A and B are shown apart, each in its own frame.
Chain A
């Protein structure tokens, strides 16, 4: 009768309620995974944005400025900014590269652009999966209603 599409090209009408439930659960699991990767990407974007905004503030600081350096989360020692023209950036797999402040900002912005592209893909895929799951659940409810009638 209804919804031939959705469910990855499966003919939903032809499936038994048990099979429909299985497909729906599988789609829910995939949605769950996508949500996790969405959250991971979001937190990575926040991290790079924070780094970029920190660099903006850092740029205005003069050399020799007094600061407190954390030894642990609750202990600090006095220090002073010695070099403000160069920073060290983690580029992954244990490698760090020296960069100028502009270079570091550029790095963060590039990463954010890349991650946002990826995030969009995940969002699209997630919406698709959720729609499919909805279709399958509707088909399942119809089947159950039919069986009860």
Chain B
């Protein structure tokens, strides 16, 4: 009699523990999902910047063909400041490199989060199965 009782307690205990684990796994999964969303947004923004800078690079590449005297200016606050064409090109190239790095960083973050999501998904399914099993056993024991 006493033995049965403690067994029952142990079973409901494990079921509760499993449920807690399951909740944890689901929270982890949701967090990973959020991470993917944030990084996707970052990536989109970076690619847009990439396009704009590429267009500027193309325009600056065209400058030489007009003539060497062509002035290039950069808007700094409300003022237009004269720039050296070579410097402007170097700046844009540097910025492009930076943005490309940002894109690949977001890509890597998305890939790693998605990988973790697959693992978390497996964990969730496994825990759900174990909870169901524990319930079955508990129901059988109750009868």
Our verdict on whether A and B bind, yes or no, reads: yes
Q: Cβ of B126 < 8 Å from any Cβ of A?
A: no
Chain A proximity of B69: nearest CB distance (Å): 8
B71 near A98 with CB under 8 A, answer yes
Q: A88-B73, A88-B80 are in contact. Are A95 and B56 (CB under 8 A)?
A: yes
Complex Cα gap A96–B56 (Å): 10
Q: Given B66, B76, B80, which contacts A103 in the complex, CB threshold below 8 Å?
A: B66
Binary contact readout A91-109 vs B (1 if CB under 8 angstroms, 0 otherwise): 1111111111001000100
Interface size class of B (residues with CB under 8 A): 20 to 34
Residues of B within 8 A of A88 (CB): 71, 73, 80
Contact B66 A93 (CB under 8 A): no
Q: Which residues of B contact A93 (CB under 8 A)?
A: 52-53, 56, 92, 95
Contact B66 A100 (CB under 8 A): yes
Of A92, A94, A96, A99, the residue contacting B66 (CB under 8 A) is A99
Q: Are B55 and A92 in contact (CB under 8 A)?
A: yes
Quote the shortest CB–CB distance from B103 to chain A (angstroms): 17
Total interface residues on A, CB under 8 Å, equals 13
- In the bound assembly, the distance between CA atoms of A100 and B62 in angstroms comes to 13
Q: In whole Å, how far is B122's beta carbon from the nearest beta carbon of chain A? A: 24
Instruction: Judge if B84 is at the interface, Cβ distance under 8 Å.
Output: no
Partner of B74, one of A94, A100, A103: A94
Residues in chain B near residue A100, CB distance under 8 A: 66
**Which residues of A have CB within 8 Å of B52?**
92-93
Whole-angstrom distance from the CB of B119 to the nearest CB of chain A? 26
From 52 to 87 in chain B, residues with beta carbon under 8 angstroms from any chain A beta carbon are: 52-53, 55-56, 59-60, 63, 66, 70-76, 80, 83
Give chain A nearest CB distance to B142 CB in angstroms. Answer: 34
Q: Which residues of A have CB within 8 Å of B56?
A: 91-93, 95
How many angstroms between the C-alpha atoms of A138 and B100 in the bound complex?
43
Q: Could you write out 6 A-B pairs with CB less than 8 Å apart? A: A91-B56, A95-B60, A96-B73, A96-B80, A98-B73, A107-B59
The 9 A-B residue pairs with the shortest CB-CB distance, nearest first, are A91-B59, A98-B71, A94-B75, A96-B73, A92-B56, A93-B56, A98-B70, A92-B52, A91-B56
Please list the residues of chain B having a beta carbon within 8 angstroms of any beta carbon in chain A: 52-53, 55-56, 59-60, 63, 66, 70-76, 80, 83, 88, 92, 95
